[in-house]
Every structure is written in structure tokens, then in C-alpha cells.
Copies of this chain bind each other. A is one copy, B any other.
Amino acid sequence: MSEDSHWLEEKLLQLNLVDTMDQPGGFTRLSYSPEESRSHEAFRKIANELDLQVTSDEAGNQWAVWKVDATAPTVAVGSHLDTVNAGGGYDGVAGVLCGLAAIKQMKDQSFTPKKNIAVICFASEESARFGVSTIGSKAVTGLLDKQDLETVADGSGVTIKQAIEEFGLNWETIEQAEKPTDSLESFLELHIEQGMQIENNGADIGIVRGVACPIRLKVTATGMSNHTGTTPMDNRKDAFVAIAPLVNFVEQEANKINDRQEVPLVATVSTVQLKPNAMNVIPGEVELGIDIRSVDDSVKYELADLIKSYCSQVEKKREISVKVETLVNNDSVFLAPQVQGKLQRVSEKLGYKALLMDSGAGHDVMNMAIRWPSGLIFIPCKEGISHHPKEYASIADLQKGSNIIAAYLLTETGDDDEDKDWSNQSS
């Protein structure tokens, strides 16, 4: 194994706060938790080893900057270090790690960039804790609405405001993390694919064109709680019996849409909350959370409308009230074609087969893309498994990712000659 591979392996463990990546219980570093903070600390330590200037902004994002010229533009790369509950050690970490590894490569080659380079570690990308995703990058791009978030709390009743203050930040100033357009020139994220398209297409990496942002619905069916033992079957208003068929309806209708058109749609009833959820009480209320995604926004709307009609029918058929709320409705984000072009040329020169593809998952880049020309690289992950202890990306693929970022940064911050010799970049 090369020295670079050893370094990747070592820093992967450090960022994950573990001695081995074999963690059957997975990795849990929820948004604005002490664990996320410890992982940020590990990031700062590595950045210091690389002689980068590290600062933390008002939203808890970590900025490790290779500053060469205060008047020169800054090119940024990055991702996040928080995870879902019992998630994997690569989602987010891969992008931060490869960004740092690219800097190391460039420094090892005694390259001096003509522009500043920032590796950003965004805070709180996952929605697992507060139901709100990409908080750090939203703050950077002015998309964070403090008032909207004021009452948001996690499952234990800890508000996002409390969590942020316990994280050592000041809730009142969080919006000041916003960066003006001229503070960065461009942004590039690297992430594990969380799917199988790269492998299925025999490619090495993916270059993302569009990010499918979700429509998220909350369906609340309200019937009547009563004793399971004393309420006859024909005198019940069981909210779970009424709304359970929606779970399969969503799958069936998504399949029908996919049978008909090329751009895929995915739809999932991913959360459920029963009230009172007690063995001897008929469910009086059921809350279902539905996540719908496609780069083709029109089919997302189509499915959301089908779900709403279905719920109206349930309401008419059973004596149950059914309310459908739209929690999130984000149009898909298309990334900068010029960045895609540069990444394609860089990949070609490195001898990597790149697949042009879309992203089914949201990432920090979708916020950054609204303000700066942005790109997203995917590296493969084993069997497409993600948000799971079995999530895995090989050191070889992390190395390829680092190589692409380094080559891209050399182009972006070097002499503007894309035709220089790349042969010493592959490993």
C-alpha cells in the first residue's frame, strides 16, 4: 500500500473517531451533537498538520484554508462529518477526507497554487436529528431561516437552538455564517454514490449533472383511540387500518411512473408515528412521512397529487380525517456545466471512466450551487449500501477521488493550462 493510501486509511479512522472501520453498530454523529463536534476537532487537527488556517464560522462549519494571497479568489471543496443514527463512516467523511488528501498531494508535489484553496467541513448535513438537512451549507448560502427553525426539536425534545448553543455557537448570530458571492470562486463536493449506477455501468466515478431534491409529505390520519378488548370490530375508527394501504399505494404508483418514463422516480413511506402506540389501545392517530424524489420535478408533483387524491378517498370511505401537509418541496438543482466539463477532462487525463449521472440524494452542493458554480463527484460504495453500518468505500476509490480533486484543483489554481502533464497524478 502506498504512503498516500496509508495516510487516507489513518485519517479516515481519525475523522470517524475509531480504531477500526469495522463497527457493527455503525457510526452515530448526529447534527450538532458532541460526537459531531469531536469529529470536527479531528478535522482541525489534520488541517493543522497540513499547515492550513482553520476557522469555524457562526453555523459551526469548519474552514481549512490554504491561503496564498489575500487578494486572490478562493476555490472550495468539501462535504460534512455528521451522520445519521447508526449510519456509515463514508457518507460525508469521504468528501472531507479526499479534499484534505488532495491538498496533501499538492503540497507533497511542492505545488504553489495561484488562488486560495478552502476545504469546508459543513455542519449538520443529515436531517436525522432535526428533520432539517444541510443546515451548515444553508447558512453559508443565506438559505437558513432562523425563525422557521426556532421551534424545531429532536426526538428527545431538545430544540435546535439548544443543541446549537450546547455546540458552542450563538443562536442569534447563526445567520452571519452567510458568505458573499465574491468570497468564493467555485465549489466542488465529493461524496459516495449511495447507489449502484457507477458499478452497473463499469465506470470508476460519477460526475453529477442534477441533484433530485425531495418533496416530503406528512400524512396525518385521525380516528379514535379506544380499548382493543372492548371495542367491537364494527364500531372502530382505527386510523392505522385506514391509512396502512397508503404504504403500498405509494410503491405501486412510483413503479407505474417508472414503467412509463426514463428519468427515475423514488418514493418511500419512511416514517410512522402511532398514537398512543400501546398494545391495548386502538390507534387513534397515525402520522406517515413520505419522501419523493426525481430530477424530473413534474413526476414528483404527479405522485404527490395521486397521494392527496388517495387520502381524500380514504377520508370518504372510512370515518377518519386525513390531512396531507407538504413539509419540503425543493425543485431539483442542476450543477454548473462548465464544472462538469472540467471534471470530465480531468478524469479522462487520469484514465478514469466517468459516468454522467444524477443524484437521488441531496447534498451540501445543492445549496452551494445556488450561489457558486459547483460540481459533485461520486465515488462507488459497496452494493450501494448507505446510511447503514455496512456502508463501505475502498481506499482505492478514495484514492481515485483524491486524485481527481487534486487534478481539478491544479487546473483551477495553476497556470490555467488544462493540457499540462497529469501522468504523475495517478497512483
Contact = CB atoms under 8 A, between A and B. Distances in A.
A376 to B, nearest CB: 13
B85 A276 contact: yes
Interface string A131-168: 10100000000000000000000000000000000000
A268 B274 CA distance: 13
Interface in A187-216: 193-196, 212, 214, 216
B225 A266 contact: no
A223 to B, nearest CB: 11
B258 A248 contact: no
Given A268-B238, A272-B274, A227 B387 contact: yes
Given A269-B240, A270-B282, A362 B229 contact: yes
Interface in A222-278: 224-235, 238, 240-241, 244-245, 247-248, 251, 254-255, 258, 264-274, 276-278
A229 B386 CA distance: 11
A40 interface: no
B266 A361 contact: no
Nearest to A232: B264
B227 A361 contact: yes
A127 interface: yes
Of the four ranges (under 10, 10 to 19, 20 to 34, 35 or more), the interface on chain A belongs to: 35 or more
A293 interface: yes
List the number of copies, as a whole number: 2
B247 A251 contact: no
A388 B128 CA distance: 31
Given A279-B291, A280-B361, A384 B231 contact: yes
Nearest to A362: B229
Contacts of A270: 228, 240, 274, 277-283
A17 interface: no
A264 B265 CA distance: 45
Contact of A231 (B265, B266, B273): B266
A106 interface: no
B233 A241 contact: no
A214 B233 contact: no
A-B pairs, 9 with minimum CB distance: A229-B360, A244-B247, A229-B361, A194-B230, A195-B230, A230-B360, A228-B268, A194-B227, A228-B291
Given A195-B231, A229-B266, A230-B359, 10 more contacts: A226-B385, A227-B387, A228-B293, A229-B293, A230-B266, A233-B265, A241-B269, A245-B248, A270-B282, A280-B361
27 contacts: A84-B280, A126-B280, A127-B278, A128-B278, A128-B280, A193-B230, A194-B227, A194-B230, A195-B227, A216-B279, A224-B385, A224-B388, A225-B388, A227-B360, A231-B360, A233-B267, A234-B255, A234-B258, A238-B251, A244-B245, A268-B282, A270-B279, A270-B280, A270-B282, A270-B283, A272-B277, A281-B387
